[in-house]
Amino acid sequence: MEKSASNGVATAVPAPWNFAPNETLLGLTALLVRAVLARVKAGMDCRTRGAAARRGTSRLGEANKQSTGSAACAPPPRTEGRVHAAQRQPNLVDLDDMCLLCCDVRLHAWAAWGACASSGPFVESWWRDAFRVCQCIPGIPCVSATAPTPLAFGLEPAQRSIAQYLSRDLPYTLSPDDVYLTSRCAQAIEIICSVLARPGANILVPRPGYLFYEAHAVFSVMEARYFDLLPEKDWEVDIDGVQALADKNTVAMVIVNPGNPCGNVYTYEHLAKVADTARKLVIFVIADEVYAHLTFGERKFVPMGVFGAVAPVFTLGSISKKWVVPGWRLGWIVTNDPNGVFQMTKWAASRDLDISSDPPTFVQGAIPNLLDYTKEEFFQKTIKIIKESADICWEQLKGINAITCPSKPEGSMFVMVKLDISCLSDIKDDMDFCCRLAKEELVVVLPGCAVGYKDWLRITFAIDPSSLEDGLHRLKSFCLRYKKPTK
């Protein structure tokens, strides 16, 4: 037994502790976007990054998260051979960020919410989010500081309002009971995976995709099987592939529409095929629609719930993207099941498991106002900004050697581009490419391995046009610098 002094300081070599990290979890976390980006950014000159962040240089907000400059800074490394752009121009351009949408902040009637959010370290970001949308809502959300603790599914007015909002695009009407409130869409994914997991079960997920599904599936001891999205067909689901993958233990398939990471928007006809396939396989569809209505091309958003009578659908969503308030932490799971399949199979009961925490009460209280009164102009403005950036991105990518973009993004805030490693000297793979790009050009791009697609890149274009152009310009110089000499 280990001895320790009475003042709590250990005096002997400690015996092995009884606890150890969960290896499965460690392996999975290393694959996720945050961990991969940390590796990409690790080689960057932190002093330059800190200075750039302090000056408020062009950063687009990594997937709605607030950017921070690095504090502890070593002097910039001396580089031999190539002159690094980091030394010429110390501005960071984060092409995996979304800060463009976070800049329109105006103080308005939201002071009334002060009573609900008066202290704590996260208040600042909460207020930032609140102010961003405040201009869109005439009137103050009627939230009482003594609002009741919600039931497992949420406060009824919030559920009702989400049911009404989503029913606008459906051929049937959802009831408040179809709506289960969660803390962001991320928690919706977590809950769905925990509830679905049973020994031997498997779930079909898209590749490239949002690996959060795989992480939660595997952590819930459920197998994740990948079906392909087809780049040459605007990232449609490979329906034959889905059928080949499924077996009697397959419980559901996931689609993300509009898509992260591909920027795809599915047509009515394609979604109908997905529904027919799910019916044939007697599985249900999990439709991640967290980017619903964020479309800017020819194709309009069609919710998967439209096909709920063909195969039951769980729609996952949140207010993080369309209303641009990720800090409010509110999402939902909605059952689109007009034929009552979930009831018949008693599956609905498992949803009732009260194993998760509820979203904040005062945010639930604000939902009816947010959904009913946010001005259309707010959404139009968001779409206009994203569309402009998507157009710039599409045009500029065409002129970069070693990179091809198979299809123009029509929704969400992302585009996938293919990297031709064979045209570049000294670059091993997508991860190596991104690490060097970050180090040498201070441009952050997500390597495809973080979305299950090696030797591709995901570019987030929801940043201000001048930073985007600057970032793409540096990407171009980088690719030219590494271009293999032609024989």
Ligand X SMILES: Cc1ncc(COP(=O)(O)O)c(C=O)c1O
Transcribe 463-485 into DSSP letters.
S-HHHHHHHHHHHHHHHHHTBPP
Q: Which residue has the tokens 């439709």?
A: 287
Closer residue to ligand X in complex, CB, 185/204:
185
Kindly state the smallest distance separating residue 113's Cβ from ligand X, in Å: 20
The reply to whether 331 sits near ligand X by the rule CB under 6 A is: yes
Q: Within 13 Å, how many C-alpha atoms sit on residue 352's CB side?
A: 7
**Per rule CB under 6 A, is residue 326 in the interface with ligand X?**
yes
Nearer to ligand X, 319 or 479 (CB): 319
The count of chain residues that interact with ligand X, using the rule CB under 6 A, is 13
Query: Judged by CB, which is closer to ligand X: 184, or 436?
Result: 184
- Tokens 């995709």 -> residue: 209
Nearer to ligand X, 186 or 438 (CB): 186
Identify residues 131-190 at the interface with ligand X (CB under 6 A): 184-186
Largest CA distance in the chain: 74
Contact 446, 458 (CB under 8 A): yes
- Residue range at the interface with ligand X (CB under 6 A); choices 19-27, 142-150, 318-326, 365-373: 318-326
DSSP letters spanning 135-172: TT-SS-----TTPPPPBTTB-HHHHHHHHHHHHTTSSS
Residue 303 lies near ligand X (rule: CB under 6 A): no
92 lines the binding site for ligand X (CB under 6 A)? no
The reply to whether 320 sits near ligand X by the rule CB under 6 A is yes
Contacts of 142 (CB under 8 A, 6+ apart): 365, 369
Tokens coding 219: 């952590």
Q: How far is the CB of 288 from ligand X (least distance, A)?
A: 5
Q: Does residue 210 belong to the site contacting ligand X (CB under 6 A)?
A: yes
CB of 290 to ligand X, least distance (A): 4
Is residue 318 a contact residue for ligand X (CB under 6 A)?
Answer: yes
CB atoms < 10 A from the CB of 183, how many? 20
Q: Residue 328 or residue 478: which is nearer to ligand X going by CB?
A: 328
At closest approach, how far in Å is the CB of 346 from ligand X?
Answer: 27
| Amino acid symbol at 223 | E
Going by C-alpha positions, the residue among 381, 465, 461 that lies closest to residue 132 is: 381
Q: Does 364 bind ligand X (CB under 6 A)?
A: no
Q: What are phi and psi of 150, to 5 degrees?
A: -70, 160
- Closer to ligand X by Cβ: residue 150 or 331: 331
**Cβ distance to ligand X smaller for residue 296 or 478:** 296
What is the nearest approach in angstroms of ligand X to the Cβ of residue 259? 8
What does the angle CA 349 – CA 350 – CA 353 come to, to the nearest 5 degrees? Answer: 100
CB nearer ligand X, residue 416 or residue 479:
416
Question: In this structure, are residues 475 and 400 in contact, taking their beta carbons and an 8 Å threshold?
Answer: yes
By CB under 6 A, residue 206 contacts ligand X:
no
Using CB atoms within 10 A of its CB, is residue 34 exposed (0-12), middle (13-18) or buried (19+)? exposed
Q: What angle do the packed helices 33-42 and 23-31 form, to 10 degrees?
A: 70
Smallest separation, CB 470 to ligand X (Å): 24
Least distance between ligand X and beta carbon 54 (Å): 27
Q: What minimum distance in Å lies between the beta carbon of 126 and ligand X? A: 15
63 binds ligand X (CB under 6 A): yes
Restricting to residues 29-48, name those near ligand X by CB under 6 A: none
Q: Does 203 bind ligand X (CB under 6 A)?
A: no
CB-nearer residue toward ligand X: 305 or 331: 331
As a whole number of Å, the end-to-end CA separation of the chain is 69
> Counting contacts by CB under 6 A, is residue 256 touching ligand X?
yes
Rounded distance, CA 296 to CA 33, Å?
25
Q: How far is the CB of 446 from ligand X (least distance, A)?
A: 12
Cβ at position 292, least distance to ligand X in Å: 11
446 contributes a contact to ligand X by CB under 6 A: no
Strand arrangement, sheet containing 414-419: 403-404, 414-419, 456-460, 446-447
Of 374, 389, 265, the C-alpha closest to 323 is 374
Angle at 210 between CA 207 and CA 214, to 5 degrees: 80
Q: How far is the CB of 419 from ligand X (least distance, A)?
A: 22
Here the tokens at position 116 are 């609900």
Identity of the residue, 186 or 449, whose beta carbon is nearer to ligand X in the bound complex: 186
Q: How far apart are CA 52 and CA 445, in angstroms?
A: 17
Binding track, positions 270-299, relative to ligand X; x by CB under 6 A: ------------------x-x---------
Positions that interact with ligand X (CB under 6 A): 63, 184-186, 210, 256, 260, 288, 290, 318, 320, 326, 331
